[in-house]
Amino acid sequence: MSDSSSLGCILVAGGAGYIGSHTVVCLLEAGYEVVVVDNLSNSSKVALDRVEQITGKSVTFYKADLCDDGALEPIFEAHTFEAAIHFAGLKSVSESVADPIHYYRTNIVSSLNLVTTMAKHGCKKLVFSSSATVYGDPQYLPIDEAHPLAIDTDSPYGATKLMIERILQDVHRSDPEWKIIMLRYFNPTGAHESGLIGEDPVGPPANLLPFVCQVAVGRREKLMVFGSDYPTDDGSGKRDFIHVVDLSDAHVAAVKALPNVSIEAVNVGTGKSTSVLELHAAMEAVVGKPIPYEMAARRPGDICECYASCGKAKEVLGGWEAKFGISDICESAWRWQSQNPQGYADQA
Ligand code: NAD
Ligand code: WQD
């Protein structure tokens, strides 16, 4: 139950994960109480212990699978939630191509169960983790929220984000009491400045920065740079890398903005794009030694470049904008990786 000094209690589904754990820190620091529900399928309870260490505040944790019918019921009976943030789900593009049923089931069923239970208990304020992947190969840059959606996306992962956005639009249309912000993240990277929490992928990282970090720390031999012939200045792909702490702050801003919205899709990026080779060079500067790499063929399905138009975020999220740049991202990611070479397994 929320006490009178708190801003209220926020349910964070998937809150033990990479972005969720950083967001829990920001929520606690902003004065919210937090209840995390996570099945730990891609995360460690240690992350939440570290969150408590960083903030000096406690987090209520339930290990539960959102896909299990009724799993959320006792949690909603025990707490009154101001709003929910829905991070829970699977996020690998390549895994989703290999096992689409698992991806559709996990991402769609978990979302349906969450909104069903929320509606039943009269909690109708939701922030949802969407992705810039919904835009597909950009038709123009920067990408604004009016950019067409890639309804013919090749990736089941991307399709789940599109479907959940559609489901939420329909839920809102059926009951306008719902207040929903769908945040479309660009490329989340970096770690909390303490080095206590960060990205800890299971198996070989699919994403660029964790791979670079694992090469730098000696867990992997070299980085393969996918693509040297893109029409960019250095031939490598370009992305809008957003610091996970900026992204987490955007969630707190979204929770605060919810009472004044109906349903909105909002880009969360920096508005700048950085090439793979530039990011690699920035990490080398931080680490202070060469990070071996080799140029390789393009990765199937990759786009050349994307970066966000950030005007709507500033407007909807009460003036929010990204504060951190590439060197902050690299410094924080390296602090996390060098202090925890094996990720949370170092402590678990
Ligand atoms: P993550 O895997 O670290 O976090 C997701 C969390 O959800 C994990 O802790 C996992 O254990 C939990 N989870 C998965 N299935 C669950 C279930 N059925 N029941 C309960 N918990 C479950 O991923 P992340 O990088 O923190 O991403 C969070 C969200 O943001 C995801 O929805 C992802 O699709 C989305 N997103 C991520 C990125 C990115 O590059 N990291 C980009 C855009 C969008
Ligand atoms: C960035 C760049 C790669 C790894 C993915 C998802 C997207 C979103 C964020 C969830 C590209 C290159 C990468 C490597 C490389 N996730 N690269 N060597 O592909 O922009 O986005 O994560 O919603 O949906 O598609 O991110 O970090 O995988 O790649 O050269 O070992 O780094 O080719 O140009 P991406 P990424």
Q: Is the pLDDT of residue 1 over 60?
A: no
Give the list of residues 6+ apart from residue 250 with CB closer than 8 angstroms, or none. Answer: 183, 268, 313, 317, 320
Q: Is the pLDDT of residue 347 over 90?
A: no
Q: Is the pLDDT of residue 169 over 90?
A: yes
- Average pLDDT rounded to a whole number, residues 192-207: 95
Q: Is the pLDDT of residue 326 over 60?
A: yes
Category of 177 on φ-ψ map: left (φ > 0), alpha (ψ -120 to 50) or beta:
alpha
Q: Is the pLDDT of residue 15 over 80?
A: yes
Q: Give strand ranges (E) for the chain.
A: 9-13, 33-38, 60-63, 83-86, 125-131, 179-185, 187-189, 223-226, 238-239, 241-243, 263-268, 274-275, 293-296
Structure tokens at 101: 């049923």
Which DSSP helix (H) or strand (E) runs through 280?
Answer: helix 276-287
Determine which one of 18, 32, 157, 185 is catalytic: 157
Structure tokens at 126: 């939701």
Return d(Cα 335, Cα 324) in angstroms, integer. 16
pLDDT band at 278 (very low <50, low <70, confident <90, very high): very high
The closest alpha carbon to 134, from 274, 315, 320, 306, belongs to: 306
Q: Is the pLDDT of residue 221 over 90?
A: yes
Q: Is the pLDDT of residue 3 over 90?
A: no
Is the Cβ–Cβ distance between 240 and 268 less than 8 Å?
A: no
pLDDT band at 346 (very low <50, low <70, confident <90, very high): confident
The closest alpha carbon to 308, from 266, 271, 274, 275, belongs to: 271
Q: What is the ipTM for the molecules in this complex? A: 0.99
Q: Which of 25, 42, 241 to mutate to test the pocket of ligand 1 (most atoms within 8 A of CB)?
A: 42
Going by alpha carbons, the residue nearest to atom 8 of ligand 1 is: 17
**What's the half-sphere exposure (Cβ side, CA atoms, 13 Å) at 112?**
11
SS3 229: coil
What is the pTM (predicted TM-score) of this model?
0.98
Q: Is the pLDDT of residue 60 over 60?
A: yes
In angstroms, what is the span from residue 207 Cα to ligand 2's centroid?
Answer: 5
- Average pLDDT rounded to a whole number, residues 220-238: 98
pLDDT of the residue at 211 = 98
Return d(Cα 152, Cα 331) in angstroms, integer. 38
What are the chain's domains?
A: 9-346 (3.40.50.720)
Going by alpha carbons, the residue nearest to atom 4 of ligand 2 is: 208
pLDDT band at 152 (very low <50, low <70, confident <90, very high): confident
CA angle 257, 247, 43 (to 5 degrees): 115
Give the pLDDT confidence of 260-269 residue by residue, as tens digits. 999 999 999 9
In angstroms, what is the span from residue 283 Cα to ligand 1's centroid?
Answer: 25
